[in-house]
Amino acid sequence: MTTTPAPALSVLDLVPVRTGQSSAQAIASSLDLVATADRLGFRRYWFAEHHNMPAVASTTPPVLVAAAAARTPRIRVGSGGVMLPNHSPLVVAEQFAALEALAPGRVDLGLGRAPGSDPVITQLLRQSGTTSDVERFPDHVRDILSLVSPEGATVRYTSGGTYDVRATPAASGMPEVWLLGSSDYSAQLAASLSLPYVFANHFSGQGLERALELYRTQFQPSESLPRPRTFLTVNAVAAPTREEAEARSLPNQRMMARLRMNRPLVPSETVEHALATPEEFDGLGTQIMAAARATWFVGTGDEVAAELTAFAARHGVDEVMISPIAGAYEGEPMDAAPGRTRTLELLAAALA
């Protein structure tokens, strides 16, 4: 009798901010969490890029990656991801070349095409001329791949002549570049560029099977990546009891409802507030919450570990990146995240 091998686990962190918590406290709790993930043997720890959201403090992945690298000796650290249309490719390349020098062999550069915010913030971020042209996203990915390599890139003048450009003067290595997405477009682009690919399943999960099939069947082998390489992201909460896990998932369910219904966003609620005010959401809100919960992995450590193992096997991946979305109870310390920490601890123990 054979058993299904357990997947490697990684972490995606949006640096959640809860009611009454400062940005400094939220970041401190995430840096405590990355140290926990490192100690428990998680494979990698990525920070997302989101802007102008009261419940999310992960606005600048390179800064957070640098802090995480300084706090950990082993785990891979990176972005999940940098939203490339918001930034100059050269600036991104320089930032991650510096991170690679800071933590050699441990840095991942995940690149995405979505804005990561509302239209007003998107316009403010993209006041940078042609670098904000979303249609040129594939060209900008190629630029970064060249710029972060030890060989650098060559600019050719229309009038003749060349100019060498490097993200850092004497690179001895380069960050591993991943393409992120939740659509056919991102899967096909990753395949054509011979890049590893991450499907952002924690968004909704729609189109997962088709995206993986497109990526795997259209993948163009290269010397650096001879075979397709992919993993998936999921939202997860593990607790000592299923009842506690379900309760800790409720604040994030309600945040999803606010997003989908265009209601004003607020810092993440406490579990007590979410339980005490169900009347804040009508029938549509309840439906949105139920639909979100249906795609999440919530339960005891053993239950979630078993579901993750089956999920990884079903989709042919050896790694799953969890976004630990456990909410907080009133009275829990502001500079720590006990529910999120417990999720990592229980899953590591169950999959050991």
pLDDT digits (tens, 9 = 90+) for 120-135: 777 776 655 555 567 8
What's the alpha-carbon Rg for the chain, to the nearest Å? 20
pLDDT number for residue 346? 98
The answer to whether residue 253 sits within a structural domain is no
pLDDT number for residue 255? 95
pLDDT number for residue 156? 79
pLDDT number for residue 239? 98
pLDDT number for residue 117? 64
142: tokens are: 């190629």
The answer to whether residue 261 sits within a structural domain is no
Q: Are 57 and 335 in contact (CB under 8 A)?
A: no
Rounded Cα gap, residues 101 and 103, in angstroms: 6
The answer to whether residue 276 sits within a structural domain is no
pLDDT number for residue 324? 98
Residue 171 CB neighbours (<10 A): 19
* CATH number reported for the structural domain that contains residue 314 in this entry: 3.20.20.30
Instruction: Kindly give the residue spans of alpha helices, DSSP state H, lying in 59-183.
Output: 61-71, 89-102, 119-125, 137-148
- Give the domain extent around 89: 8-241+296-351
Residue 67 CB neighbours (<10 A): 17
Count of structural domains, the chain: 1
pLDDT number for residue 159? 72
pLDDT number for residue 168? 84
Rounded Cα gap, residues 188 and 191, in angstroms: 5
What separation in angstroms does the CA of 20 have from each of 55, 123, 128, 279, 325? 11, 30, 35, 22, 18
pLDDT digits (tens, 9 = 90+) for 48-61: 999 989 999 999 99
What separation in angstroms does the CA of 124 have from each of 47, 86, 94, 119, 220? 21, 9, 22, 9, 36
The answer to whether residue 274 sits within a structural domain is no
The answer to whether residue 282 sits within a structural domain is no
Q: Which H or E run includes 324?
A: strand 319-324
The answer to whether residue 123 sits within a structural domain is yes
The answer to whether residue 321 sits within a structural domain is yes
3-state secondary structure of 78: strand
The answer to whether residue 256 sits within a structural domain is no
> What are the per-10-residue average pLDDT scores of the chain (352 residues)?
84 97 98 98 97 94 98 98 90 95 97 76 63 77 90 80 84 93 94 97 88 98 96 97 98 95 94 94 92 96 98 97 98 97 98 92
- Model-level pTM? 0.93
